[in-house]
Amino acid sequence: MKKFIIRFLSVFLLLLGTANVFSQNPKNYSVKSPDAKLNFEIGISETGLYYQVSKNGKLVLAPSLLGLKLKNSEIHKNIEIKEVKYAEADDTWQPIWGEETQIRNQYHQMLVYVQEKTNLKRKFIVNIKVFNDGFGFRYEFPEQKNMKDIVIMDELTEFNFPEDHQAWSIPYQTEFYEGLFKKEPLSKKDTISTPVTIETKSGQFLALHEANLTDYAAMNVYPDKKSSHLKVYLTPWSTGEKVFTKTPFQTPWRTLIIADSAGDLLLSRLMLNLNDPNTIKDASWIKPGRYIGIWWGMHMKKYTWEPGPNHGAKTENVLRYIDFAASHKFAGVLVEGWNIGWEDWKSFEFDKPYPDFDIKKITDYAKQKNVELIGHHETGGNTLKYESQLKDAFKLYRKYGVTTVKTGYVGGLLDGKEQHSGQYGVRHYRKVIETAAQYKIMIDNHEPVMPSGLQRTFPNLMTQEGVRGQEWDAWSKDGGNPAEHTTIIPFTRGLAGPIDFTPGTFNFTNTALPDTKVHTTLAKQLALSVIMYSPLQMASDMIENYENNPAFEFITSCPVNWSKTVVPNAKIGEYVTIARKDKDSENWYLGSITNADSRQLNVPLNFLNKNVKYKAKIFKDGKDADFEKNPYPVEILEMEVNSDTVLPISLARSGGTAVILVKL
């Protein structure tokens, strides 16, 4: 009862404080963050419903319109605010897996009830939640007599930044989101995908994205009249419409992280907090892990996906990989090219193995070795055929104990006409995730729609691609990923969710395209195991390239599931250091990387337990290491450290340092 009274009084005081604001301007309503630094204000002007946001009294977003453009009308003018309700929350929840074991969900909420003054008198709600590190809002349309079936042609939502900030983004039509993030002023952008990461002139860091993308089109933005005034552009259907829906319905959350440092962007859990809680009651079968695969050998032209003398998925080759996985305690082996259809990319059969792939023998052998076969479903973008076989395909895998599936959608438009990020694609991906959950199967989704935090609701959605990953270092004719790429994507694509980047290449000689290669040192490949968060993470290289290399110890010992994450230092596009605590032990793992410039960093270890000693095993760039001339040297050393230690880190050009911190 005491706790209830305290909570009631706090809500009463919050309402009392906002009442003073209302009395000054009855048409404007506001809600502040729990720490009172952020203020979200909403009102009606001559141009329609609008909002603006400030932090510490300084505008973050200038007046920006709200509303929807429907098939035959718009909803944003000739409206009135009928009612405003307030609420607040402060609770903690535990993710099934993640970058920490507990996530605080603290916000102040304002529900703004809006209605048209005339005509159909349609109603909707603007639901606003303001956190200490940003906000989210969405439109909610209740069931109503004069609004049933709805065709949305676009949103009228705007993000009007008061200054022309620098921003990192990729163009909206970048295929599969596999592009290089470009830094330039907002006014210079074309239509771009979110997340959009922004550095303001005053030194703030912002990230514009969305949360809980459900049965809707993905949000993109573009600068109006080449200004810093961004407008929403939803990914369309092939017929031009954006969203087909009916009341009641709600849009995804439109989110903006507002941080004081680049590192704080990486620690925000705002997007996850705006997704629905876990729907899988028994999640004991969901297990993060690190794995290997025959995949890199295919890119190097040693193996083929299709059957033939060099077929990668031959039983004896898979058994060899299982032996290696077992000896180095990897959780699984990914096998692509095992099923019929790779000859023409048109007739994939997801329950019919090639004759030289003995799935029963392989899975029985893997079980004896405490290793799992990781399945693969490449659809070629033919979603209708995949959906028709989905249950049979998952039944086959369950029969043989396969609990993880990598899905793929290479092939341009889905079913030859629809974009991956349109409502069509969003519906398909959700169907696969939900069906997989019914069969207790985890999903690694390649060529996805940009993640929006659905892994909280469906924790079997383990990781996704949607990034220019390490495979580009194998086959891209532009030479591969540039050195700065991995110092940018944690702050851009990484803010949307786990990344299946596939670090861990040890041999930088490209036998397929000699002019294309990995533009890092070997030590940086180690550090990426910590930097690139993913609860399912593949060590990318062929197993023979790992044999007898002492540096391999870091990859085999590095976990993928964490209890705490800290970011000691970071500058987007230049360097980043991340430390993570193992969820199953008292050990910490640290990764630090740089761009094409060598540099010296000092990393305080004040995140370690006080008055406790740790053994630090350090894997660093060796003498004369250089990503272009000599990427291989790695020096391994040990030292005793504690929470007062400031660890000096020396990074070669596009180099890295990886550290294991074992509690003594």
Amino acid identity of residue 374, one-letter, is I
Outline where 231-358 has alpha helix (H).
262-267, 270-273, 295-299, 315-327
DSSP labels, 613-653: -EEEEEEEE-TT-BTTTB---EEEEEEEE-TT-EEEEEE-T
Catalytic residue among 100, 210, 471, 484: 471
396: helix, strand or coil: helix
Structure tokens at 68: 């929807």
Alpha-carbon dihedral of residues 413, 418, 424, 426, nearest 10 degrees? 40
Return phi, psi of residue 341, to 5°.
130, -10
Residue 101 is classified by DSSP as: S
Residue 405's nearest CA partner among 358, 338, 476 is 338
8 Å CB contact between 464 and 448: yes
Omega within 30 of 0 (cis) for the link into 195: yes
Structure tokens at 499: 């990344």
Largest CA distance in the chain: 80
Residue 373's nearest CA partner among 311, 315, 445, 302 is 315
Residue 186's nearest CA partner among 134, 233, 235, 230 is 230
Active site residue 199: no
- The sign of the torsion formed by the CA atoms of 573, 579, 584, 587 equals positive
Beta-carbon neighbour count of residue 450 at 10 Å?
A: 24
8 Å CB contact between 48 and 126: no
Q: What residues are annotated to the active site?
A: 471
